[in-house]
Chain A
Amino acid sequence: MEQEKNNKNHENHKHSKIEHTGPILEVRDLSVSFGKEEILKDVSFSVNDGDFLAIIGPNGAGKTVLFRALMDFILYDGEIKWRAGVKIGYVPQKLMEKAELPLTVKEFFSLKSKNLFFKDKQIANSAVHELKSIDIDSDILNRQLVNLSRGELQRVLIAWAILGHPQILLFDEPTAGIDIAGEESVYNMLHKLQDERGMTIIMISHDLNVVYRYANNVLCLNKERLCYGEPEHALTNEQIKRLYGENAFYHHLH
């Protein structure tokens, strides 16, 4: 159901290759420019099965752009190697507000179906299953997307992403708008997915506590890779200061 990476010929600049063993994702010297502006420069990292990689960095550091490059939405330089046949689930920060589109949650799930129409039941059943697996009541299916709270929408987006059982989840955490309790349960939910399904997770995070608690690897990004490795070793106070600046340091380590 998810985007399957296959051996398609990439446009210029791209050198994606498919490997059958080794890491699920390997990125080498990834650079992205929009016009003359360099957004990412020579970023390298790799992700193994069952990893929880947190990507942190200030606003405008290129974190979301990195995700878009990983999913092949934009042109890039360097190398992005996915393991053959890997299925990717993607949770965006938010959906664009489209109040004029009267879409129910159930219909939103059916949009992921490969079938052009009918067979609603099958996908609705899978949706109920996924919602249950992340502890959401299936009553939500009959509500309209635009009427959901930010927290509810985020959970629906997660359920949407894991529909079809991807091996890896790219999770772009919202910067604001979700209460602390809601955030906490989202992290537990991700942790559960990792435990129960062996799902690999790459998460853009804004909360250093989460990084220390859940991630086994961290990538600090500010256009370039500033640190990379296990949080305990890579995330020194020095690094955090370098990443967010002196003043931000205080806010981020509550």
Chain B
Amino acid sequence: MALDNQFLLILISGLFTALAASLLGAFIVVKRMALVGDVLSHVALPGIGLALMLSIDPIYGAAVFLLAAAFGTWLIEKKTALPPEAIIGTFFTATLALGVLLVPNEELFESLFGNLFAIKKLDAVIIIAASSMIFFLTLLLSRRLTLSIAAPDLSKSAGFRPDFSYLAFLLLFALSVALGIKLIGSVLMGALTILPAVSARNFAWSLKSFLVFSIIFGFIMTFIGILISAVFNFPPGPAVILTGIIFFIISLFFKK
């Protein structure tokens, strides 16, 4: 096992990415938008393609496209009565097609599944700072968001704005997917977001325990996954996700 700088950078960036993603994932799961999250992540691809063409960091290209897509989803859902999966299913699958045209062949596979881009020190700093910010903002948002999921009318009656909580949440989720592009890949980021939460749901008896378990599972599965990927020289994305699946299967035995 090469315990070198690159490994440490991947491990630390991966763990921070997982912290933010697994906390957001808890809300993705209770809002029943797991598939939405998955398809939304495809929107990153044309952004990556454009960024590569303009030779800027693919994280930024992905972030711009994802944030725009998240805002678009929110707006269309607000203006029409369409559920998010219908909106995203129709519009954003098309971006996958666009992405395939835009991203050079040799980089396409790894944009989807991670490990393409070596993590530089600056990348790690950005990922750590942005993930911490996303994590903290999501925590701040969690009460409002939970109430808007549980009972939008009660949220309004208490003087809150459930639609703004939802928008903030979508934007945070879009950013978190963008951060995971290099390491985990856009397709697998959807899985990293959801897997800790679905496993945690099988243990949870309250909102707090649900969030805490989700974060812990995300952390552990990423740690083990990246360790395995270093030992066997796998790409980290698939190793993390497969570890997560094993977690989920174990969690099924604890379901009350």
Verify A116–B140 contact, CB threshold 8 A. yes
Indicate if A98 sits at the interface (CB-CB under 8 A). Answer: yes
Verify B205–A101 contact, CB threshold 8 A. no
Interface residue from B153, B154, B204 paired with A102 (Cβ < 8 Å): B204
Indicate if A144 sits at the interface (CB-CB under 8 A). Answer: yes
Residues in chain B near residue A145, CB distance under 8 A: 150
Verify A111–B29 contact, CB threshold 8 A. no
Indicate if A96 sits at the interface (CB-CB under 8 A). Answer: yes
Verify A95–B157 contact, CB threshold 8 A. no
Indicate if A52 sits at the interface (CB-CB under 8 A). Answer: no
Verify B143–A113 contact, CB threshold 8 A. yes
Q: Which B139-158 residues have a C-beta within 8 angstroms of A?
A: 139-144, 146-147, 149-151, 153-154, 156-158
Give A89-111 as 1s and 0s: 1 = Cβ < 8 Å from B's Cβ atoms.
11010011010111110011011
Shortest CB-to-CB span from A119 to chain B, Å, is 11
Interface residue from B146, B157, B204 paired with A2 (Cβ < 8 Å): B157
Question: Are A102 and B210 CB-contacts (below 8 A) given A108-B150, A116-B140, A117-B139?
Answer: yes
Shortest CB-to-CB span from B13 to chain A, Å, is 27
Docked CA distance A2–B155 (Å): 10
Known: A95-B154, A112-B158. 7 other contacts (CB 8 A): A71-B153, A103-B150, A104-B206, A107-B208, A108-B150, A111-B147, A116-B141
Indicate if B30 sits at the interface (CB-CB under 8 A). Answer: yes
What are 24 of the A-B contact pairs (CB < 8 Å)?
A: A1-B158, A1-B159, A2-B157, A2-B159, A3-B156, A3-B159, A90-B153, A90-B157, A92-B153, A95-B150, A100-B30, A101-B30, A101-B146, A102-B205, A103-B146, A107-B207, A111-B144, A111-B147, A112-B147, A116-B141, A116-B142, A117-B139, A144-B205, A161-B157
Indicate if B209 sits at the interface (CB-CB under 8 A). Answer: yes
Indicate if B255 sits at the interface (CB-CB under 8 A). Answer: no
Show the binding face of A for B, using Cβ within 8 Å. Answer: 1-4, 68, 71, 73, 88-90, 92, 95-96, 98, 100-104, 107-108, 110-113, 115-117, 144-145, 160-161
Verify A111–B205 contact, CB threshold 8 A. no
Residues in chain B near residue A92, CB distance under 8 A: 151, 153-154
Docked CA distance A116–B146 (Å): 11
- The B interface is mostly helix, strand or loop, or mixed, namely helix
Verify A98–B158 contact, CB threshold 8 A. no
- The A interface is mostly helix, strand or loop, or mixed, namely loop
Verify B150–A98 contact, CB threshold 8 A. yes
Residues in chain A near residue B32, CB distance under 8 A: 100
Interface residue from B151, B157, B201 paired with A71 (Cβ < 8 Å): B157
Show the binding face of B for A, using Cβ within 8 Å. Answer: 29-30, 32, 139-144, 146-147, 149-151, 153-154, 156-159, 201, 204-210
Interface residue from B144, B154, B206 paired with A103 (Cβ < 8 Å): B206
Verify B206–A102 contact, CB threshold 8 A. yes
Docked CA distance A88–B149 (Å): 21
Interface residue from A68, A95, A113 paired with B151 (Cβ < 8 Å): A95
Shortest CB-to-CB span from A37 to chain B, Å, is 14
Residues in chain B near residue A3, CB distance under 8 A: 156-159
Question: Are A110 and B143 CB-contacts (below 8 A) given A100-B201, A102-B206?
Answer: yes
Residues in chain B near residue A161, CB distance under 8 A: 157
Verify A102–B158 contact, CB threshold 8 A. no
Docked CA distance A117–B147 (Å): 13
